[in-house]
A and B are shown apart, each in its own frame.
Chain A
Amino acid sequence: GAGVSQSPSNKVTEKGKDVELRCDPISGHTALYWYRQSLGQGLEFLIYFQGNSAPDKSGLPSDRFSAERTGGSVSTLTIQRTQQEDSAVYLCASSALRGVGNEQFFGPGTRLTVL
C-alpha cells in the first residue's frame, strides 16, 4: 500500500513569507508526527496528533509554527514569516496505534530553503 507522502518535495521561499507543508499519512494510521531535520542537528520533534485528542505542541520552536490535522488524516504544517534558520528538511511520520513500540513510518520529507 501507499506510504506516507509529503508535498512539496522542495520549497524555496523568501525570508518573511509564509509556507505550508502537507503530509498524507498511511490510511488508517491514527498517530501523526512532524519532525525537523537540520544539518548537524539530527531530527527534532515538533508536534504530535493522535485521533481527536489535543495535539502535543511541545516541540514547536516558536509561535510562527503551527499545524493542523483535518478529519484525522491529512496534516498541514504552517510556518509564518519564515526565517533563514527555518531552512531544514521537514519530516512527517505516522503510526497505527499510540503505544509501546509502535513503528513510525516516515515520509520522504520536504526540503525548505529560506533565502
Chain B
Amino acid sequence: AQSVTQLDSQVPVFEEAPVELRCNYSSSVSVYLFWYVQYPNQGLQLLLKYLSGSTLVKGINGFEAEFNKSQTSFHLRKPSVHISDTAEYFCAVSEDSGTYKYIFGTGTRLKVLA
C-alpha cells in the first residue's frame, strides 16, 4: 500500500531564508506526486506536480521540487521565503491505476518569521 511521510510537522524559518519541506513516499507501482498549499481558512491549492520527464519541477510562487526515485522523495524547496508563504503544505501521491485518488501526508506547517 502506498503511503506518504512528512517528517516535519512544523518548520519555522526567517524571512528571505531558504526552506526545504521533506516528503517521502512508498509505493510498489509508478506514482505521480503533488504539493498542495493551504493558507489559513482557505482550501487547498496546487503548487506543483510531477508526472514524468524532468525530475526538477517548478511551481507557482517560486517553489520547486525534485523527484528522487532512488530515495523515494519529493522535497519542496524555495530559495527565499516571504511572510506570505506562511501556510500548511501537503505532499500527495497518486498511483497510476484505479481512481487516481490522492494519498496525503500529514502536512507541514511553515511559519515565516520577520
For chain A, residues 17 to 62, give those with C-beta under 8 angstroms from any C-beta of chain B. 31, 33, 35, 40-45, 48, 50, 56, 59
Q: Which 4 A-B pairs have the closest CB atoms?
A: A42-B106, A43-B104, A101-B51, A106-B44
Say whether A99 contacts B100, CB under 8 Å.
yes
Residues of A at under 8 Å CB distance from B? Answer: 3-4, 31, 33, 35, 40-45, 48, 50, 56, 59, 91, 93, 95, 98-104, 106-109
List A contacts of B51 (CB < 8 A).
100-101
Whole-angstrom CA separation of A113 from B105 in the bound complex:
23
Q: Return A41 CB to nearest CB of chain B, in Å.
A: 7
Say whether A45 contacts B32, CB under 8 Å.
no
List A contacts of B99 (CB < 8 A).
48, 50, 56, 98
Residues of B at under 8 Å CB distance from A? Answer: 6, 32, 36, 42-46, 49, 51, 90, 92, 94, 96, 98-107
Pick from A33, A35, A98, A104 the residue with the most CB of B within 10 Å. A104
CB-defined A-B contacts under 8 Å, sample of 6: A42-B6, A42-B105, A59-B101, A91-B43, A101-B32, A103-B46
List A contacts of B36 (CB < 8 A).
106
Say whether A103 contacts B106, CB under 8 Å.
no
Say whether A43 contacts B90, CB under 8 Å.
yes
